[in-house]
Chain A
Amino acid sequence: GQSLEQPSEVTAVEGAIVQINCTYQTSGFYGLSWYQQHDGGAPTFLSYNALDGLEETGRFSSFLSRSDSYGYLLLQELQMKDSASYFCAVRDRADYKLSFGAGTTVTVRA
């Protein structure tokens, strides 16, 4: 099976930087992805890491360390519209089952 841990809540001010950590346990790792979900909306894809290192997409970056079973999502230059829940997800290599963390609620204050 797979399990993922991420913090439940983070609060920060506009313009700040927030890092959301995700640790995982899986029998066959096949990649870590991140999704954003606004209240009342559907999850939307943000980024994906299959190999160690940093992937940058605009203000958002995602990092993976397979040896540590750890990754993070970095949100820079926070804006009010970044207030949302963020989920990490891992795919199992053997059967393509996808497991999500419980989510981190990010609240951006003025």
Chain B
Amino acid sequence: EAQVTQNPRYLITVTGKKLTVTCSQNMNHEYMSWYRQDPGLGLRQIYYSMNVEVTDKGDVPEGYKVSRKEKRNFPLILESPSPNQTSLYFCASSPAGGRSSYEQYFGPGTRLTVT
């Protein structure tokens, strides 16, 4: 089954404790992206990657890191989480070019709470 998986689905942590949210896709997609969703603000892009070893900042990259060492994986790293990073996070993937690049496949989401 074609899918994007994220782990963990729920996480409660404390300020300053480094964490990683994993994202994996099995569709051989080049493009992968991370979003955060907050009430009234919609989805805001954090980082995206056009292919292995190619990453770029989205609209809200501060406080986050990513890496793309393999095509299927795109982990999101919070080196020192703060309460304002409490949010619902989505990973997504798509082909890089052509019409199908507009059809982003989203993971189930990770609800993060930083206390």
Chain A residues at the B interface, C-beta cutoff of 8 Å = 1, 8, 31, 33, 35, 41-45, 48, 50, 87, 89, 91, 95-103
- What are the residues of chain A within 8 A of B99 when measuring CB–CB? 48, 50
The size bracket of the interface on B is 20 to 34
Cβ contact within 8 Å between A102 and B90: no
Given contacts A42-B108, A45-B102, contact A96 B41 (CB under 8 A): no
Given contacts A42-B108, A42-B109, A43-B90, contact A98 B103 (CB under 8 A): no
Cβ contact within 8 Å between B42 and A31: no
B46 to chain A minimum Cβ distance, whole angstroms, is 11
Cβ contact within 8 Å between A103 and B42: yes
Chain B residues at the A interface, C-beta cutoff of 8 Å = 31, 33, 35, 40-45, 48, 50, 56, 58-59, 90, 92, 99, 102-109
| A99–B43 alpha-carbon span in the complex (Å) | 8
Q: Which of B33, B42, B103 contacts A48 (CB 8 A)?
A: B103
Cβ contact within 8 Å between B48 and A100: no
A-B contact pairs, 14 of them (CB 8 A): A8-B40, A31-B102, A41-B108, A42-B90, A42-B109, A43-B90, A45-B103, A87-B43, A97-B56, A97-B58, A98-B33, A99-B59, A101-B42, A102-B40
Cβ contact within 8 Å between A33 and B102: yes
Cβ contact within 8 Å between B43 and A97: no
A19 to chain B minimum Cβ distance, whole angstroms, is 19
Cβ contact within 8 Å between B59 and A97: yes
| A62–B45 alpha-carbon span in the complex (Å) | 23
| A42–B109 alpha-carbon span in the complex (Å) | 7
Cβ contact within 8 Å between B48 and A96: yes
Cβ contact within 8 Å between B50 and A100: no
Minimum CB distance partner of A89 in chain B: B43
| A48–B108 alpha-carbon span in the complex (Å) | 22
